[in-house]
């Protein structure tokens, strides 16, 4: 399977703390994306990092990509209760970059 | 601009019945995808349309599933006859980037429960 796998499966932190989620994948990629899903809603795109990039920032989000280890991490700084959601990584294969593989997600709970 | 819309939001059917899910992508998006999430597991790729053509249907579980995209606009996913293991949330997504590698815009999903 080429699916990205997120780790941990669940994470519970206090508001104001940082949250780090990891994603591992198996094959060469064109890009890796992170999505957020609030309960019962659709997935919302957060950030895209290309295979030739190592780090990217967007507001309180920081994404790193290590293609040698086939892994990525998503850091949410100064978390808020509103960040409570499931987070998914999605990889676009280098050989078929129209096909996106998702993992099982990390369920983040930010306690106020 | 309207987002991706899916209908119905929830469907409960008996085993052996037929269900048709509909997805209206964002206007102008040539790429349309169907995904499925079962019991909190990974979000699995089902198929990908470019306009009205099936680009990749390698994720379709079996021939009980039929997807169409009429005139390159909305898409339907029919399950006939439905089995218990077909229960899950079916997501539709669309994107504009014809060369791929762009962000996906998701609908809110259609939850299918097969009893």
Mean pLDDT for the stretch of residues A1-16: 84
Q: Higher pLDDT residue, B72 or B22?
A: B22
In this predicted structure, the answer to whether residue A20 has a pLDDT above a threshold of 90 is: yes
Examine residue A8 and say whether the peptide bond preceding it is cis (omega within 30 degrees of 0). yes
Mean pLDDT for all residues in chain B: 92
**Residue B79 — pLDDT band, cuts 50, 70, 90?**
very high
| pLDDT tens-digit readout, B19-60 | 999 999 999 999 999 999 998 788 999 999 999 999 999 999
Contact of A2 with chain B, judged by CB distance below 8 Å, is answered with: no
In degrees, rounded to 5, the angle at the alpha carbon of residue B114 between the alpha carbons of residues B75 and B40 is 80
Given an 8 Å threshold on Cβ–Cβ distance, is A97 in contact with B101?
A: yes
Residue in B113, B110, B63 with CA at minimum distance from that of residue B85: B113
Q: What is the DSSP string of chain B?
A: ----EEE-SEEEE-TT--EEEEEE--TT--EEEEEEE-TT--EEEEEEEETTEEEE-TT--STTEEEEEGGGS-EEEEESS--GGG-EEEEEEEE--TTS-S--EE---EEEEE-
Given an 8 Å threshold on Cβ–Cβ distance, is A92 in contact with B100?
A: yes
**Residue B76 — pLDDT band, cuts 50, 70, 90?**
very high
Query: DSSP code of A81?
Result: G
Helix (H, G, I), strand (E, B) or coil at A1: coil
Which pLDDT belongs to residue B1?
65
Give every CB contact of residue B63 below 8 A, 6+ residues apart in sequence. none
Give every CB contact of residue B108 below 8 A, 6+ residues apart in sequence. A40, A41, A42, B6, B9
**Residue B98 — pLDDT band, cuts 50, 70, 90?**
low
Mean pLDDT for the stretch of residues B97-102: 65
User: Which residues in chain B (8-27) have CB-CB distances under 8 A to chain A?
Assistant: none
Contact of A45 with chain B, judged by CB distance below 8 Å, is answered with: yes
Percent of chain B scoring above 90 in pLDDT: 82
Which pLDDT belongs to residue A46?
96
Given an 8 Å threshold on Cβ–Cβ distance, is B109 in contact with A90?
A: no
User: How many contacts does A have with B, using Cβ atoms within 8 A?
Assistant: 65
Query: DSSP code of A54?
Result: S
| pLDDT tens-digit readout, A52-99 | 999 999 999 999 999 999 999 999 999 999 999 999 999 988 777 778
Tokens describing residue A92: 């676009």
In this predicted structure, the answer to whether residue B100 has a pLDDT above a threshold of 60 is: no
Residue the block writes with tokens 């997935």: A43
d(CA A72, CA A49): 9
């Amino acid at each position: 399977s080429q699916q990205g796998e997120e780790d941990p499966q669940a994470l519970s932190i206090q508001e104001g703390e940082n949250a780090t989620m990891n994603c591992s994948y198996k094959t060469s990629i064109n890009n890796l994306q992170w999505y957020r899903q609030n309960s019962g809603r659709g997935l919302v795109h957060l950030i895209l990092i290309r295979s030739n990039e190592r780090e990217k920032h967007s507001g309180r989000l920081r994404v790193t990509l290590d293609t040698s280890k086939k892994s990525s991490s998503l850091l949410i700084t100064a978390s808020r209760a509103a960040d409570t959601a499931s987070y998914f990584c999605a990889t676009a294969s280098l050989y078929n970059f129209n096909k996106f593989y998702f993992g099982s997600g990390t369920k983040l709970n930010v306690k106020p | 601009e309207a987002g991706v819309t899916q209908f119905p939001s929830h469907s409960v059917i008996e085993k052996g019945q037929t269900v048709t899910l509909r997805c209206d992508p964002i206007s102008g998006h040539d790429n349309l995808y169907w995904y499925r999430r079962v019991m909190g597991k990974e979000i699995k790729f089902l198929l990908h349309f470019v306009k009205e053509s099936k680009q990749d249907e390698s994720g379709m579980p079996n021939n009980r599933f039929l997807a169409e995209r009429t005139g390159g606009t909305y898409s339907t996913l029919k399950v006939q006859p439905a089995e218990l293991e077909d229960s899950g949330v079916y997501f539709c997504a669309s994107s504009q980037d014809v060369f791929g590698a762009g962000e996906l815009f998701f609908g809110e999903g259609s939850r299918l429960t097969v009893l």
